[in-house]
Amino acid sequence: MGKYNFSAIRVRQTALQAQIAGKIPYTPVWTDIIRDIPPSQILVRSQPQQHQLVRQRVKTVPGESKPRTVFEVQEKRLKPKKASRMFLPVEIKYEEDQLRKEFFQDHPWELARPRILVEKTGKDFSQYDWSRIQQPGKRLDGESVVQRQLWLLNNVPDITKSAAYDIARQEFYRLRLQEDIERRVAAEEAEATGATFGPSALEWGMKFENEQFEAWKEWAKAEAQGLANRTSANALAAGISELPGTEDNAEAEEDRIAEPA
């Protein structure tokens, strides 16, 4: 049929036909297996799954005592899709995409921190409870802020995006500061009990800089010496210039030429 070769999907029919035609004495062992577990249809073009952005919010209604959970669905675009794009897959969108984008625009260096990407079971999310920002088995990072902000947006009545962002951000900054202090205290404790950490990056930098300064100092000394020698030689040459044809004079001449006066 056309450009397609369907021999792979029609193995059972081919085997049965070959047996009927006497090409093979017996059908292969898998003939009945393929009858019982038939291959699926291929090349089916179905309507792709549509992904709509859904926002969950909690709102207080004037007449009611309890706040109500509201689901807001993103409006459909006014201009309908082209007919040729009917069967194309659709972009997957989540609400946290925007939150993530904003956070990492404000904190670009958070992306430079190491992060564990390997998941063993894929069920890490089941241990997380975003009513607080710290989670068991997860390092505090930008994603924590995003998830915490999303939880606040989904669960706190009448909260705005920026208010949720501020709450999540402040919690994040506090914990980061605490981490810094813990790290410093640990280093101090280790030093007190005998650990040595060696020169720091700044000390290494100063060491290299000092080496360069020393090298320059020697070079400058040599240059200054050379300059002094040359000026004294010139002065000497000027003093005895009345005697032409001497070797000293010739040297002084060379020096004068070498010097860009």
Partner 1 sequence: MIVRQLYSRQGRQLLSVNRQASILRRFQSTETQTPTTTVETAVKVETEEPVIPVPTESALDNSTSSDSIRLAATEAFSRQRQNVKNFKKLGSVVRNKYWPDALIENPPLPSQITLELLLANQTHLGHSTSRWNPSNSQYIFGIRDGIHIISLELTAAYLRRAAKVVEEVAALGGLILFVGTRQGQKHAVVRAAELTGGYHVFDRWIPGSLTNGNEILGSCDRKVVNAFDEELPEWAERLESRGSLKPDLVVCLNPLESTVLLHECGLNNVPTIGIIDTDADSTKVTYPIPANDDSLRSVSLIAGVLGRAGEAGQRRRFESAKRGVLGYRSVSLGKKDVAERPESEDAA
Residues making contact with partner 1 (CB under 8 A): 4-9, 11, 14-15, 18, 26, 28-30, 33-34, 36-37, 39-40, 42-46, 48-49, 51, 87-92, 118-123, 185, 188-189, 192-193
Q: Least distance (Å) from partner 1 to the CB of residue 25?
A: 10
39 vs 205 by CB, closer to partner 1:
39
- Taken as a whole, the chain contains a residue count of 261
Characterise 122 by phi-psi region: left (phi > 0), alpha (psi -120 to 50), beta (else): left
- Pick 7 or 65: Cβ nearer partner 1: 7
Q: Which is nearer to partner 1, 4 or 213 (CB)?
A: 4
Cα–Cα distance between 240 and 238 in angstroms, integer? 6
Phi, psi of 114 (to 5 degrees): -65, 150
Residues 30, 35, 37, 43, CA torsion sign: positive
Minimum Å distance from CB 139 to partner 1? 15
Q: Is 64 or 119 the residue whose CB approaches partner 1 more closely?
A: 119
Q: Which residues pair with 56 in a beta bridge?
A: 71
Give the CA-trace dihedral at 77, 80, 84, 90, to 10 degrees.
Answer: 20
